[in-house]
Amino acid sequence: MLYKPAYYDDFQCTAEDCPCNCCHDWEISVDPETARQWRGRLLPEGMQVQRRIRKKMVAIRHMDSLLTGSHRPGVNRKISMNPDGRCPFLDERGLCRIVLTYGDDMLSKTCQTYPREIRTFRVSGGFRREYTLASGCPALLDILWKQDHFQVQEVNETISAPQAQAAAKGPFGAEGSPGKMDIFLLIRTCFLKLAGNPAYKPRTALKLMFLALTDLIGMKAEKGALTLDMVRTYFRNTDFDTACREVEKADVLGKSFSMSEHNNLFQDISVEYRKRKIYTGFLEPLAWLSQEYSVFDEDGVPTEAYTARRAEGKADRNWDRLFADFRSRAGAFEKHFRLLLSNEIYSELVLPETETLEDLMVKLEWMALECGVLMQSLFLTFVKDGQLTYESVRECVYIIIRMTGYSDDDIREYMENSFDDILWPWWYMNDIV
């Protein structure tokens, strides 16, 4: 069986009209098969590229000379982007020269399919194939946000054994153990129900997922194993409405220490992009404001800007009013955030290579960090512009999603380097979302 979001077939790339073409400002993967096709092939027509190699500027002639990264078999390589962050294959009109000269078949799988992704999971009784759409594309957001609710369709398409075996070898191959994968996918289904419940704010739903996953990890440690029945019983018997009320009572969003934490997080995630002058028009004004609106710096010392505002006797009064205005304006986009959360949970929480409940938790925590950075960028945008429009919300979403679109290995490394324990305590989750 094949599963895909109800809006999957509506997606169409807007190409030259896209406000943030996906051919710049991030790493573009090239799969081993495409890298092989590029080997020794002349650059497309009209391209003249020079690169510094061992201190000398050298004219590049072949497509594979524009690849970086490991030469290990089976490992994806990356396109070496221009110093301005653009893909070197883009022409002045923003069109892809590979397509113009050699046709679509010469594109890497990422370029052929983005923002579409195909995942093949090994589940009990065979394989489950899913199509997903990544949220870092403005055209996808336009389609997603036209939906009333998030829905997955089942399409009657069976996977042949050779197809399944081929998928099993790919970078997103079906390597998981069937029993475990059934449990992960059931948890994801239950999380999608929480995300889609209009009685829970999207932020609250994310925290409820964190609490549920913490319980399931605890149950597994106590019983030695987790079964599908245990997961079903847990979700059937848990009173999420009461938990929701408790979680909302404990909400600290907008409190000064939470705002400082969010500002630090925003600065931390943007530092590399600012250094490399990527997303400059978006990041610079917000980064400046994030310093202005921090109460404490990373060492817990009150910032100069806050001290000055306080000395004028207007820090807290201004603060409360500003934040209340922001909350009320952002509330108009609650449906958009709910659909976004559902799309993220569906497309990112479980991958074919997910192995443990801890992997799920790390992914959920990463989504919480994304959510924290996104909320902060929305708040700072509101402060900057005095309003939040559909376009400004959409821009915040696709840029933050791209900036935080790390691979699973990089996410784990970030979490291990940034936190004492990769599994967060509740209070940190509560502070960040």
Give kind and range of the element (H or E) at residue 122.
strand 116-123
CA distances from 310 to 88, 260, 377 (A): 50, 15, 24
Report the C-alpha gap between 195 and 179 in whole angstroms: 25
139 touches ligand SF4 by CB under 6 A: yes
Q: Does 21 bind ligand SF4 (CB under 6 A)?
A: yes
d(CA 234, CA 224): 16
108 is a site residue for ligand SF4 (CB under 6 A)? no
Asked if residue 131 binds ligand SF4 (CB under 6 A), the reply is no
Least CB distance to ligand SF4 at residue 22 (A): 3
- Rule CB under 6 A: is residue 200 a binding residue for ligand SF4? no
Q: Is 120 in the site for ligand SF4 (CB under 6 A)?
A: no
For residue 99, the minimal CB distance to ligand SF4 (Å) is: 12
How distant, in Å, are the alpha carbons of 289, 297, 378 from that of 305? 10, 11, 21
Does 278 bind ligand SF4 (CB under 6 A)? Our answer is no
Stretch that binds ligand SF4, among 133-141, 149-157, 380-388, 412-420 (CB under 6 A): 133-141
Among 66, 98, 106, 137, binds ligand SF4 (CB under 6 A): 137
- Minimal CA–CA distance to 19: which of 273, 281, 407? 281
The answer to the question of residue 134 lying near ligand SF4 (CB under 6 A) is: no
Q: In angstroms, what is the minimal distance from the CB of 14 to ligand SF4?
A: 4
Structure tokens given for 45: 């027509």
Give the 3-state secondary structure of residue 174.
Answer: coil
Residue 110 interacting with ligand SF4 (CB under 6 A) = no
Structure tokens at 360: 């799920």
Asked if 99 touches ligand SF4 (CB under 6 A), the answer is no
Using CB under 6 A as the binding rule, whether residue 253 contacts ligand SF4 is answered as no
Q: Does 367 bind ligand SF4 (CB under 6 A)?
A: no
Q: Can residue 114 be called a binding residue for ligand SF4 (CB under 6 A)? A: yes
Choice from 1, 2, 18, 217 touching ligand SF4 (CB under 6 A): 18
Does the footprint of ligand SF4 cover residue 107 (CB under 6 A)? no
In whole angstroms, the minimum distance from the beta carbon of 16 to ligand SF4 comes to 9
Provide the minimum distance between the beta carbon of 146 and ligand SF4 in the complex, in angstroms, as a whole number. 15
Least distance CB 13 / ligand SF4 (angstroms)? 3
DSSP 217-267: HHHHHHHS---HHHHHHHHHH--HHHHHHHHHHT--TTSHHHHHHHHHHHH
Minimum distance from residue 335 beta carbon to ligand SF4 (Å): 22
Stretch that binds ligand SF4, among 47-55, 118-126, 135-143, 279-287 (CB under 6 A): 135-143
Task: Identify which range of 8-16, 56-64, 232-240, 279-287 contacts ligand SF4 by CB under 6 A.
Answer: 8-16
CA distance 309 to 207: 33
Three-state DSSP class for residue 54 = coil
Give the interface size with ligand SF4 as a residue count (CB under 6 A).
Answer: 11
Q: How far is the CB of 5 from ligand SF4 (least distance, A)?
A: 15
8 Å CB contact between 108 and 34 = yes
CB–CB of 99/88 below 8 Å? Answer: no
Peptide bond into 178 cis (omega under 30): no
Is residue 79 a contact partner of residue 87, using CB atoms and an 8 Å limit?
yes
22 binds ligand SF4 (CB under 6 A): yes
The C-alpha atoms of residue 210 and residue 424 are separated, in whole angstroms, by 9
Binding site residues, ligand SF4, CB under 6 A:
13-15, 18, 21-22, 114-115, 137-139
